């Protein structure tokens, strides 16, 4: 694996560790976001656990490439779901940009690892 792949993998792992922890523990921002999007709070927790699991797979992926591949694939799905959620409620591009960028980065990582 190249250093660039490791940096991308580490960046995605860090970002989704933070996002997943915030969702799972119920940060005010995430609670309000899920209310705004018309999604139940249990789905916020499930989303957070999925994000944490994918981030952990990316970390394990430093030693096991298949784990990184699976983690990246999960994050691509999370990214697609996140973008659809923002578009559905007509959020601004500013509100949508972070998950869009992270989803695209996860897709780039997935393609590299394939």
Which DSSP letter does residue 25 get?
H
Domain limits for position 96 = 3-113
Q: Which pLDDT tens digit goes with each residue over 30-60?
A: 999 999 999 999 999 999 999 999 999 999 9
Q: Find the farthest-apart pair of alpha carbons in the chain and give their distance in angstroms, rounded.
A: 41
Q: Which pLDDT tens digit goes with each residue over 52-77?
A: 999 999 999 999 999 999 999 999 99
Q: How many domains does the chain have?
A: 1
C-alpha to C-alpha distance for 27 and 45, rounded to whole angstroms:
11
Render the burial of 49-68: b for 16+ CB within 10 Å, e for the rest: ebbbebbbbbbbbeeeeebb
C-alpha to C-alpha distance for 112 and 35, rounded to whole angstroms:
36
């Amino acid at each position: 694996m190249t250093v660039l792949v490791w940096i991308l993998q580490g960046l995605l792992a860090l970002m989704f560790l933070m996002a997943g922890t915030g969702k799972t523990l119920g940060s005010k921002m995430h609670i309000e976001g899920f209310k705004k999007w018309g999604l139940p709070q249990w789905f916020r927790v499930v989303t957070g656990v999925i994000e944490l699991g994918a981030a952990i797979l990316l970390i394990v992926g430093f030693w096991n490439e298949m784990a990184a591949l699976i983690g990246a694939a999960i994050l691509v799905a999370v990214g697609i779901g996140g973008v659809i959620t923002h578009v559905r409620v007509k959020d601004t591009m500013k509100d949508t940009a972070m998950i869009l960028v992270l989803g695209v980065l996860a897709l780039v990582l997935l393609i590299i690892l394939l």
